[in-house]
Structure formats: C-alpha cells, structure tokens
Structure 1
Amino acid sequence: MFKNLLLSTLFLFVFISCKKEKEVQLLNSSNYFDVLNKEFTGDLAFETTSFVEKYWRVVGNTGFNKSVYRIAEQLEKAGFVNEDKATKKDILTYRIEKRPLKKPTWESVNAIVEIEGENIPLLQHSTNRNMIALNSYSTPKEGVVAEVIYVKNLNTIKTFDVKGKIIFVETSPSRVFNEAIVKGGAVGVISYSNPKYLQPEKNTTSIQFRSIPLNEKIQSWGIAMSYEAKERLKAKLLKGKVSLKVTIATNIYPSEELTIIADIKGSVISKERLVFSAHIQEPGANDNATGVGVALEMATLTAKLIEEKRFEPNRTLTFLWGDEIVSTNRYVKEDSVRAKDIKWGISLDMVGEDTKKTGGTFLIEKMPDPSAIWTRGNDKHTEWGGFKMKLDQMKPHYLNDFLIDKFKEQGKRANWTVNTNPFEGGSDHVPFLKANIPSVLFWHFTDQFYHTDNDRIDKVSKTTLKNVGVTSLVSAYTLLNANNTTAKSILKTIENKAVSRLQQEQKLSEISLKKGDSLNTEIAIISAWNDWYFKTANTTLDIAKDSTELTKKIEETQKRINLISAEIIEKLKLTKMN
C-alpha cells in the first residue's frame, strides 16, 4: 500500500515537472532569446550555404535552379505544402514562380589563359572561377591566340589598331567592350579592376567577378585578372610583344526565372505580413549563400515550433528567395492589395561572415535617416559607398531602433559585435523602401573577399549564422505578435533613442561651431533629427488596435523631443556667441 502510494506520488511529481518544463518552453516575448538561442543551431543554415556556394549562380542557370529546388525540398521536410496541393487549413505553404527569361542565362564551365612560350598558365578556372566575365561566349575548342595590346589611357583607345588583338585594360571590361570589340574588332578583353578594400597586394589571387554586355552577334569574351596575374602580364609586356592563348568554355541558353516564396499564415491578422528576402544569384559563399541558408533555417525552425504548438504567429511571416532586387521588386509591385499589408521587409545579404578572416563587422543598414545626410560621429559609410541624401528622402520609422535594440541585446549575450551604417542601397531592402514599406538590410562590410572567388565556405562562420538567425526570429516574432503593449514598449525605446541621439548631435555640433562651422547648418541637423523622431513616434500606431492611450503617450513623447531640441538649439546659439 505504502509502495503504491510512493510510486503514485513519484509519477505525479514527474508528470508535473514535465508539464512545467513543457510550459516553460512555450514561446512568448519574455523568453524569445532564451528559447531561440537553444533551438537555432545554425546547422541547416551552414549546410545550405555549403550546398549553394558550390555553384556560380546567375538567374536561370543550373546552380541557381538547383538552389531553388534544394530550398523546396527542405521546406517540404519541415511540413510546408506546395500551394497547388494546399487546403485552407494549411498554415505552412510555398510556391515556385516560373517566368521565361527575356535573355538567355549564362554559366561558366572552364577556362585557361596562357602566355605563349611559358609553361605556367597565367590564369585557370580551376583556381580562379571568377576569371570569365559574365556573358562571355566560348572560344573555339583549340582556343584563340592573339597579341595583347595594353591600353593605359582609355581616351586613347581609338588611336590603337585593335582588330584581331586582345585588349588589356585596368578597368571594368564592360567599359571598353563597345569601343574595343564592337567597333574596333578586338577578339576579347582582359582586365584588372580590384578595388583597394579587397587588399589585392595581400590577396594576390583574388578576382572580383566582372561582366560584359551580352552580344549574340559578336559572341566575344572578357577575362578578369587577379593582382598576381596583372603584375605578371605587365612585367612580360615590358620585355616586348606578348601573345596569349585563351581557351574558354561557357554555356548560354534559354531558361526561366525561378522565385520561391514560403508563407507561414498568421492566425489573427493574416493579411499583414513581414517579409524576409534573400537573393540566390551571385557566385560567393557569404554573398549570398549565407542569406539563403539563414532564411531557410528560420523558416523550418518556425514551422517546427508551430507544429509543436509552442508558437503561433498572429501575422503572416513570408520568406522570399530569388534574383536580387528583381524578385523583391516584383513581389512588392505585382499585387497592390498584398503590398498594402506588407508591414516590414528585411534583406538578408552576406549574413554569415567569419570576420576574423573577412574583416569588417555585422551591420544593420538603417532606413534613410539624417545620418545619410550628415554622416558624422559614430555614423560612417562603408567602403561600398554611400551618397548624401535629402530631407525629403527620409523614412522615419521605429524599425531602425527596434532592430538595433534587439541585435545589440544578442550582441551582449553572445559577445558579438553589432554596428550600423547609414543608408547606401544596393540590395533587397530598396524595393520595399521605394514602395514606402519599412525595410532594412542585414549584412557585413568591409569584406576583403567581397565578390571575389576567395569568398568560399571557409570564410563563413556558423556562429554568425546563428546570431543573425536567432535575432532575426526574435525580432520577427515580436513584430508578428505585436500589440498595444509592444507599441508602448517600442515608443519608450524611441523616446530614449531620440534623447540619446539629440545629445550626441549637440556635442558634435558644439565641436563644429568651435571650428567655425555655420550655426544654421547645426540647427538644421538638430531640427532634422527632431523631425525624424517626432514622426517616428507616430509610426508605432501601426501595431496598436485601440490607439487612444497610445496616441496620448505619443504626444507626450513628441513634446519631450521638441523641448529637448529647442533647449539644444538655444545652447548652440550661446556657444556660437561665445
């Protein structure tokens, strides 16, 4: 009797303990970081990156299409149903959109460049897979032998007799294609144009991929060189006439454009959605096989948590994989009703770097804010390059500071460096912004292997993939289930960030005034930040149902921002007077 009672008590204790443990693992806003840091391993992200990076990917070619179908295979394993077979009850769905390409696709096969009379090749595809310029045609199987003409000054190219020759230039091959090949009759172009941030004298074998116009009539070719190959060819030319034997094999053929889209349907406000976009094309590992891999693990993990009834999104979560900017632009434009309810867009691009090898840091490229007009203090453009924007191009929204706040928290947890840069453009966040949809870019820069054939899997960090994936999901889940309480919390963050920013700008303005800079300029900067955060506070209304209480808090926040700005401007006037 006592034994039975003891066993029953023990069973009850174990049952209650297991139940509590299970309850603890249910996701909510207070434990997103804890749970997702345990659940997101980075394994699938890394495995997918490894698969995709094997291929030189351009829309429509073998590697691009294999990547799409690999994503589809993994989605189905996770429980996603092809839309063609899905019912209204299916929460997890995906589709592959197919469109004929207007122009043929392209893929490199093999190439070798040899200096006549020397045994060691100048370049070969097996070690430099970026050497063939995109859109190059094959040479005859036996190759082409021709004299090299070095053109130092592009303005003088018309004075050269280039017919039947190979043109050697230190610029992009596309810049001389028309003049040298179409008009001049050169058989091909060999070029060098690695920018300084690639550290070419250190990474002597790197080749940053290049392209030439697709010309089906002339069917010519371009070769891009590494620093090592460029120096070797120049040294040879100093000794006299040089001929090269160039053998190229490429495939150019009609194809179709594939885009794969996965939806995780929201249970309450399903029309509203957050979209993660990761482009497949480009030949590297970090750029952008990592974005493909992180997005896939994010999608499959979310499916797992939903299947286990540990998470239920109120809004829809969408993942899009396709051709950079083109696919995202179409997704935003082709359905105006759908686009109206896209609340947030995030671009995952170069998100897995081993920064000890590549350099740079993880970056959140902000929506256009005044730092893209007055870039100073801790705000710095990357070597990729920014441009000075105008006040009417600003996009005030809480998404900037909300995401920075989340990523900084993961940074503290994982001892991971997170920085920001002013808006520069050039990735999948741009189509969202053009459609007035709040959007940012997650990426890394400077990367000394950016767009080069040394951007391989050994430059990818599973830890970084995990950090980006975890924090992206924490941010997404918070927004998908955002309510009045979330809006108030974000508003408080905005108020704190506004005060901090205005105080930083005050210090910078004081320094500028002491150097003799214009008071009007400094007032304009403070006023721009005041306007940015004033309007940003209003954007929190887009996640609140009953806005009465929030509206009151917004007004209080805006009054405080205005007051602080006014005080700062008065202090700056006094500083100028003194």
Structure 2
Amino acid sequence: MLNKIWIPLLFLFSLGCENEKPSNEKDYFDLVRAEFKGDLAYETTAYVSQYWRVAGNTGFNNSVHWIANHLEQAGYVLESVATSKDRLTYRIEKRPLKYPTWEPVNANLSIVGDSVPLLISETNRNMTYLNSASTPSKGVVGDIVHILDTLDLEKKSIKDKIIFTEMSSREVYKKALDKMALGIITYNNPSYLQPEKNKTSIQFRSLPPQVETHFWGIALSYEANERLKANLIKGKTKVQVAVETKIYPSEELTVVANIKGDKIPKERLVFSAHIQEPGANDNATGVGTQLEMATIAANLHKKGEIHMDRTLTFLWGDEIVSTQRYIEEDEERAEKIKWGISLDMVGENTAITGGSFLIEKMPDPSAIWTRGNDKHSEWGGRVLSLKDMKPHYLNDFIIDNFKKQGEFAHWEVNTNPFEGGSDHTPFLRANIPGLLLWHFTDQFYHTDNDKLDKVSKETLKNVGTAALASALQLLNSNESTALQILQKTKESAIERLEEEFNLSKTELDHGASLKEEIKIMKAWEDWYLKGFSSVLDMVGTSKSNFLEKQILNSQDELKKSVTYYISELKAQKKLSKQL
C-alpha cells in the first residue's frame, strides 16, 4: 500500500528534475576507483602498526612525521610557509601533555620453578599495562594472592605481594595501592575475543598515569591464565616479574591537512582518524586509508580532474581528544563544519577477524527500538531517547554510496545503530552530522594479535574509495545534489516505514502495546520529516523554491503514509480484541 501512495510523488519528482544538472556521482566513483590502489594505505598501516602508540611517545610521533612526509610528497605545503595561492596545506599542532607519555620496552613473567616463562613481551606486547611503571631492573619476586572479589580484597593481606584477579583492574587498583601490593596480574578477556580459540591474545589494559606512584600491571592471555590458575591449585605460588617502561614528558601532536574550497571555503567536511592504540586494524588502517585519500584528492585536484566548492579537511591525532578540540577551539570554524566522518578499524580481512564492515549511523530510532534488520555490534550501546535523535540525510546518503561500492567490488556492507566511542561522537555532541566507518565483531580487537596479517588491502581500497567519492559529492553539492539526495532519502523512508509497519503488525500479534507501536511509527515519521528538510544545507542561504516545494510534497506524502499505517495497526488491534 505504501508504494502506491508514494509512486505519484516519485514520478512527479523525476519530471521536475529533467532539466537539472546530471549527477556527477558516477564520475567521482570512476575517478577515485582509477586512482585508489590501496598501496599507500597498506604501507602506512604496516609502518604505523609496528609501534605501541600513545600520544607523545616515539611510535605516535614517528607516525605523525610519516604522515607529514607523505603529505608533502603529495603537494601539501606547510601552513607556516604557504602563500595565499596554496590550496593544499597542512600543519602539525603541538600542545603540552598534562601527564607524561608512556611506552613499553620489555617485560617478562615467570612462575618461580618453571623453566618456560608465562609471558614475554616479544610475543605478547600487550602484556604490560598502559601507564605501568617499571619494576627494579632485576625484577621482583613475590607471592601470588588470588583475589576472587572485592570482599576477598578487603579480607586478605596483600602487602608486598602480587595480586592475581579475573576482575577489572579498576575494581582493585586503589585498594591495591592503599594496601601496598607490589603490582597486579589480571585476566578478563571478553567472550567475543574467543579466548579459548585465540589462546595467546591479550587485550590491552591501562592504569592511571603513574606520576607519583610506581605501580605496575600485567595482563594475561587465556593460555597464561590457565597455567597460573593450575599452579595455584597445587599450592603457594611465587612469580618473578620484570617490567621496563619509559615514562617521560612530551607534547601532543595533531596533523591537520586541508584542500581549500574555491567557492565556500569556510564550509567543510572533516575526516578524522586516530593514531593512538597499539593495533594494526585499530587504528593504523584508519591512518593509512585517510592518508591515501588525502594523496589521491591532492593528485586529482592538481590535475584539474576535480574541484572543490567547499574545504576538505583530514585530521590525524589522539582519539576523540583531537577531534573534540578541533571543534571546540574555534567556534566560527565549528559552525561551518557540515559533515564529520570517522575512520576507525577500516581495513579488516573479515575472513580472519570475523564480523563485517559497518557504518555506525547517526542516532536514529533504531538506537531506541533495535529490531528487524537493525542489530547492535557486540560492542553494544545504551538505549537512546527521542531527545537524542539526529535526523539528517547523511545516514542514508553514506549507506547508499557504500552499498554501491559493495555491489561494484562484491564487498559486504552493513550498518549498526549508534553506539559511540570514537571520533564521530565529538561531531554529534556539537550537533554536526557525523558517523563512523568501522568493523565489528573482531575477535582480535584491542589484542596483540591485531597484526598486519589481519588487514586486507582490498578493504582499505573499498572504504577509502567510497569515503572519498562521497566526500567529493558533498563538497560540491548544490540544488541538483539536494534534489537527488532527497529522492534517495525518500526511497529509504519507503523501505523503513514498510519494514517498521510489518514489524509492528507482528508485535501486535504477540501482545505488544498499540501505543508503543504507534510511538515507533511516529518517531520514524519525525526522523524523516526533519531528514528531508536537512537537504537544504546544500544550498545554504540561497533561496530554492523548487527544492522547498519538493521537500514539502515529500513531507506531506510521508505524513499520509504514516497516517495510513497507524490506521491499519489500530484496525488490527481492534479486530484482535473482537476475536
């Protein structure tokens, strides 16, 4: 029934667009596909992933200089020496760190009396807790005290001993300090890491900065945990621990590169990829993919094959911190950021890691009522409320473009409701349309088995191609683009409303509240009513009577459709009561 309601609108809309400028969407995909080979993205991933990266440390800073060197090779000019004629520029922002930076050097954990170490950092570089202090140079030997819960921690004597627990370190750290334990050894790998299969994986853990204290921590793999527990069953257990880390003052670096727009340069799209974290997929792949995107965009621009009405910005830095500061430190600049897209874990070989590529949507009603084809990742997300919704065309536009690349490359593209936790969140907090490109579930997520062998150059290429082609379309968007995206958004609305109606019918058959099902339908109605209006941001202050008329027509037809669906749900509920 819904399709019958919408067909006249779609037909009239198509007639109204006959004299509009043809879409250049295909051209952008063709241009980028011809250039994006994935070589630089993969090479950068390999370079960055060799380091355990924290803001200010050697690996982080070397990665920054790698990025800067390749930007210069691509034609970007350092802002401090650029002239007004230079359209491609970059800068490295430097700020003092509140706390010293940190990096691991070496670590060894052995059960006294055993010839084979439990762990060594050469094969398990995540065994040392982030921010862990060093032990004395010859290491320490101490009795293990097995702590089962917080009550156990209160009862047992741990002074000058080593705590072993399968609880989170957050639950034991403060008490361990107060009671003068030597350090902690923990195990708590989540089930999605498949620890019984990936027995050597260690998911990295962290302590508060060890500025005034000298506490250390060791995280165990499943294999090491089982060995240690088996030894504890036999009786009293001593371990020898040697940890060497570097903790030193440093500065935080952020790279910002721009291709300046030639018509509306203050308006911009911002890509953001964080450098810190120790893995290959997380997030050396985001760093590498974004660098190849920046290089290709520069090459196409220099050759005159593309122009940009608005400014394209690439940002590399410390996750959330750098992106949030970029937004907050310049209110005038922030007002003109039209779109923000985060690249985080974008290069996975899913045949090895599991899961699939995902587009994490801006908050929409699927983050309140997650049902049907919508599914949260195993990362999970809190249930949002209607006040958290961010209606906008960006969700459907990006999904549609990535699906096109998926069809072209036989590559799986899926979505998940909003969950947060990466560089898209500062954009959303500032009411800037923003979403996340990523992968999950990943059985090596945050572990020391997140290595280059889990990275796919083809995935790097697919993500980078779709992201850059989408950006070029948005940066040069105008009334014609707005009309095209309005139609795509309407098509998505048709599919969504029909799906939600069918889901609600089923829910009513199982005794669900009619009031709740109507609330869901009205939430999606509100989402798309506002989503249709959001395409006006492509024409800015320009008056577009035709576009505004099409938006109003679309909204009227949407309201009619929702009214019809709600009347059908009411009729179904009434009939079920009569029966």
| TM-score past 0.5 threshold | yes
Indicate which of 178, 193, 198 corresponds to 2:188.
193
The letter of the residue matching 1:202 is K
SS of the aligned residue for 1:306 comes to: helix
Please give the alpha-carbon distance, in whole angstroms, between the structure 2 residues aligned to 1:218 and 1:488: 61
Q: What pairs with 1:304-383 in structure 2 (closer than 5 Å)?
A: 304-383=299-378
Please tell me whether the aligned partners of residues 148 and 167 of structure 2 are also in contact (alpha carbons under 8 angstroms). Answer: no
2:546 equivalent to 1:546 = no
Matched residues in 1 for 2:566 and 2:322: separation?
45
Q: Does 1:154 align with 2:150?
A: yes
Tell me which residue corresponds to 2:395: 400
1:441 is aligned to: 436
In structure 2, runs of 5+ residues without a counterpart are: 1-22
Q: Secondary structure at the match of 1:437?
A: coil
Counterpart contact for 2:32–2:296, Cα < 8 Å: no
1:502 aligns with 2:497: yes
Partner of 2:214: 219
1:174: Cα distance to partner? Answer: 3.0
Matched, 1:40 2:36: yes
Q: Which residues in structure 2 correspond to 1:136-147 (within 5 Å)?
A: 136-147=132-143
Compute the displacement of 1:38 (Å). 1.7
Return the offset for 1:28: 4.2
CA contact (8 A) 2:183 2:216 kept: yes
- Distance, in Å, in 1 between the alignment partners of 2:530 and 2:151 is 50
Whichever residue aligns with residue 83 of structure 2, its letter is T
1:213 and 1:89 mapped to 2: Cα distance? 47
Q: Which residue of 1 aligns with 2:477?
A: 482
Distance 2:109 2:501 in 1: 58
SS in 1 for 2:172: helix
SS at match of 1:157: helix
Residue 67 in 1 paired to residue 63 in 2?
yes
Shift of 1:32: 1.6
Partner residue, 2:90? 94
Q: Deviations over 1:424-481 (max 9, x none)?
A: 0000000000000000000000000000000000000000000000000110000011
Q: Where do 1:189-268 residues align within 5 Å?
A: 189-268=184-263
Letter aligned with residue 92 of structure 1: L
CA distance in 2, matches of 1:58, 1:174: 20
Q: Deviations over 1:33-90 (max 9, x none)?
A: 2221121000000000000000000000000000001000000000000000000000
Match of 2:558 in 1: 561
Instruction: Determine helix, strand or coil for the equivalent of 2:81.
Output: coil
Q: Which amino acid aligns with 2:380?
A: G
2:504 alignment partner AA: S
RMSD of aligned Cα (Å): 0.9
The equivalent residue for 1:21 is none
Given that 1:177 and 1:213 are in contact with CA atoms closer than 8 Å, whether structure 2 keeps it comes out as no
Which AA in structure 2 matches 1:123? Answer: L
Distance, in Å, in 2 between the alignment partners of 1:172 and 1:133 is 12
Of 80, 95, 116, 2:112 maps to 116
Structure 2 CA distance for aligned equivalents of residues 463 and 557 of structure 1: 39
- The aligned amino acid for 1:168 is F
TM-fit CA distance, 1:303: 0.5
Any idea what SS the aligned residue of 2:333 has? helix
The answer as to whether partners of 1:174 and 1:211 remain within 8 angstroms in 2 is no
Question: For residue 289 of structure 1, what is the aligned residue in structure 2?
Answer: 284
Residues of 2 paired with 1:326 and 1:222: CA distance?
25
Which of 386, 390, 394 pairs up with 1:391? 386
Q: Give how far 1:385 is off.
A: 1.1
Tell me if the contact between 2:261 and 2:309 (Cα under 8 Å) persists in the aligned partners. Answer: yes
Are the equivalent residues in 1 in contact too, given 2:150–2:171 (CA < 8 A)?
no
Q: Is the 8 A contact 1:56 1:108 kept in 2?
A: yes
Identity fraction in percent:
60
Question: Would you say the 8 A contact 1:107–1:251 is kept in 2?
Answer: yes
Match of 1:132 among 128, 132, 140: 128
Structure 1 stretch 267-276 or stretch 149-158: which is displaced more?
Answer: 149-158
In the TM superposition, residue 215 of structure 1 has moved relative to its aligned partner by 3.1
TM-superposed CA distance for 1:154, in Å, is 2.2
The answer to whether the Cα contact below 8 Å between 2:87 and 2:259 also exists between their aligned partners in 1 is yes
Letter in 2 for 1:439: G
Structure 2 distance, partners of 1:516, 1:352, is 44
Q: Tell me, yes or no, if the aligned pair for 1:484 and 1:546 is still in contact at 8 Å.
A: no
Q: 1:432 aligns with which of 419, 427, 436?
A: 427
Which residue in the other structure is 1:5 paired with?
A: none
> Which secondary structure does the structure 2 equivalent of 1:31 belong to?
helix
1:577 deviates by: 1.4
The alpha-carbon deviation at position 150 of structure 1 amounts to 0.5
Maintained 8 Å contact 2:161/2:182: yes
For residue 441 of structure 1, give the secondary structure of its aligned residue in structure 2: strand
- The whole-number CA distance in structure 2 between the counterparts of 1:517 and 1:403 is 33
Which AA in structure 2 matches 1:575? Q
Equivalent-residue separation in structure 2 for 1:171 and 1:159 (angstroms): 16
Q: Which residue of 2 aligns with 1:54?
A: 50
**1:575 Cα shift?**
1.1
Q: Distance in 2 between matches of 1:46 and 1:112?
A: 32
Number of residue pairs aligned between Structure 1 and Structure 2 = 551
Q: Tell me, in whole angstroms, the C-alpha distance in 2 between the residues paired with 1:140 and 1:455.
A: 30
Amino acid across the alignment from 1:489: Q
Contact kept? 1:172, 1:210, Cα under 8 Å: no
> SS in structure 2 opposite 1:238?
helix
The alignment partner of 2:236 has SS state of: coil
The yes-or-no answer on 1:450 pairing with 2:445 is yes
Q: CA deviation at 1:212?
A: 1.0
Q: Contact between 1:94 and 1:262, CA under 8 Å: does it hold in 2? A: yes
By how many angstroms is 1:165 displaced? 0.5
**Within 2, Cα distance between the matches of 1:127 and 1:279?**
25
CA shift, 1:499, in A, is 1.3
In 2, distance between residues paired with 1:356 and 1:483?
40
Aligned to 2:572: 575
Question: Contact conserved, 2:149 with 2:167, CA < 8 A, in 1?
Answer: no
DSSP 3-state at the match of 2:444 = coil
Amino acid at match of 2:259: I
